[in-house]
Structure 1
Amino acid sequence: MEVDLEWVGVLRHGESTGNVARETAEAAGADVIDIAERDADVPLTALGREQAAAAGELLAGHQPDVVVTSTYRRAWDTARLAAPAGVAIIPDERLRDRELGVLDLLTSRGVRERWPDEARRKRRLGRFYYRPPGGESWADVVLRVRPLLAELSAERPGARVLLSAHEMTVFALRYLLEGVPEPDLMRAAATTAVPNGSLTTWERARDGGFTMVLVPTTRR
């Protein structure tokens, strides 16, 4: 994909109450994740706010021209806390997290127990193309991030753009900017995680492609 931007960064939102609830439910072997809010309204934890502020200090050395944020509260609040003074923050719903449909609020155990046919269908199709009923596949997320990049490239050629978004966004950009093939992308996603509050960046190379220069992933 041709993108006329000098630099692209993704700031994953700081730790949210949803992240904590998911980890607690998975560790306990529960079927359901205890989250009262809808996904779009899940807030940052105190640690998440600290992570966002720390990311702001890191961003001072990169100075984006514009910040485009997911409309989900955890990402938008992260953008507000981290964006350098005077840099515009633009919300865009195309950066929202992947929608899980009927699998929303279920742990991995919950999916196996309550939707065994879907678990089998996911294994057959693979993570990239599997779409849960009422939800999105990884490919669906790529299809909404692609035109956003094209618009930013056309409207702000040569700009330095920061996206405040989700872990899924980082993998979508690896696919779009680096051209990482689906099998390699799925292997990377299975073995690495993008930490909350972390910054992943790409710089434009001489050949017009992009090279990842800051890779804050951890082992799963």
Structure 2
Amino acid sequence: MDTVAQLTIVRHGQSTANAAFADAHARGVADHGLTGRDADIELTALGWQQATHLGRWLATRPADQRPDVVVCSPYLRARQTWTRVAGTAAALGSPCPEAVIDARLCDRLMGDLELLTPLMITQRFPAEAARLAADGPYAYRPPGGETFDDVVARVKAVLAELDRDHAGRRVLVVAHDAVVIAARHLLDGLPFTELDAIIATTPVANASITRYVDTGDGLKLAEFATTAHLPP
């Protein structure tokens, strides 16, 4: 079966929501002070630095390892990440293709629970918190949002189109941890319970790299959520 020669999935750099959620959790408080839409969440200063390091990493790759095609989530944090990556690589003599924006690569849609911390959900929607606990994080559908099977369905459609339109080419995707998890579920045939155990020890960190290569028998995982290109 025709497939892309290489599929690299990069998670966006640290966002203001990533930082705010972590801070709220560390302080044991509910509110994080964020307003607006998840799609408009920006990178932090650290996120921009991480994207710069990604660009430097990309510039050091041999020409036959750099992407022929780039596809990006429409969310601002992902687009900002690629803008900095591409700009950094180009400044180092390694120009990159222009990214194609694909709405299907957005983060998991949380509907009425968008940008709410777990404590905020418990306080504002106690019935939903109970339903989440009962259904589990992958099967749970927030009001107006998606289950993980929904995320998998749209990622599956994207991967099928990439194989059809770019067989034999190297593709880089800039997206979210949910997209990485969906890809592993699809390409490695891993159930969500097994993925949960893997992520517990190897989280899909900001600006991490997950890469698949075509071995002649389909895409095989070469590296997962690596951050060696980032400073300690």
Q: How does 1:151-190 map to 2 (within 5 A)?
A: 151-190=161-200
- Taking the aligned partners of 1:7 and 1:166, their CA distance within structure 2 comes to 18
Could you tell me which residue of structure 2 aligns to residue 82 of structure 1?
A: 85
RMSD of aligned residue pairs (Cα, Å): 2.0
Q: Which moved more, 1:53-62 or 1:132-141?
A: 53-62
Secondary structure of the residue that 2:212 maps to in structure 1? strand
Q: Which moved more, 1:39-48 or 1:28-37?
A: 28-37
For structure 2, the residue ranges without an aligned partner over 5 or more in a row are 90-94, 228-232
1:71 maps onto 2:74 in alignment: yes
Secondary structure of the residue that 1:11 maps to in structure 2? strand
| TM-score, normalisation: structure 2 | 0.86
Identity %: 42
Answer yes or no: is the 8 Å Cα contact 1:42–1:73 preserved in 2.
yes
Could you tell me which residue of structure 2 aligns to residue 133 of structure 1?
A: 143
Could you tell me which residue of structure 2 aligns to residue 41 of structure 1?
A: 40
Give, in angstroms, the shift of residue 154 of structure 1.
Answer: 0.5
- Taking the aligned partners of 2:200 and 2:114, their CA distance within structure 1 comes to 20
Secondary structure of the residue that 2:25 maps to in structure 1? helix
Answer yes or no: is the 8 Å Cα contact 1:205–1:211 preserved in 2.
no
* CA offsets 1:27-78 (integer angstroms, 9 cap, x no match): 2222233212311111112221111011012223130111100000110111
Q: How does 1:187-206 map to 2 (within 5 A)?
A: 187-206=197-216
Answer yes or no: is the 8 Å Cα contact 1:101–1:135 preserved in 2.
yes
Give, in angstroms, the shift of residue 134 of structure 1.
Answer: 1.0
Give, in angstroms, the shift of residue 120 of structure 1.
Answer: 2.3
1:146 maps onto 2:145 in alignment: no
Answer yes or no: is the 8 Å Cα contact 1:34–1:105 preserved in 2.
no
For structure 1, the residue ranges without an aligned partner over 5 or more in a row are none
- Taking the aligned partners of 2:2 and 2:193, their CA distance within structure 1 comes to 23
Q: 1:113 to 1:86 in 2, by over 3 A?
A: closer
Answer yes or no: is the 8 Å Cα contact 2:9–2:211 preserved in 1.
yes
Q: 1:199 to 1:132 in 2, by over 3 A?
A: same
Secondary structure of the residue that 1:193 maps to in structure 2? coil
Amino acid at match of 1:53: T
Could you tell me which residue of structure 2 aligns to residue 16 of structure 1?
A: 15
Aligned length: 217
Secondary structure of the residue that 1:210 maps to in structure 2? strand
1:102 maps onto 2:105 in alignment: no
Answer yes or no: is the 8 Å Cα contact 1:102–1:133 preserved in 2.
yes
- Taking the aligned partners of 1:174 and 1:3, their CA distance within structure 2 comes to 19
Give, in angstroms, the shift of residue 187 of structure 1.
Answer: 2.4
Secondary structure of the residue that 2:9 maps to in structure 1? strand
| TM-score, normalisation: structure 1 | 0.90
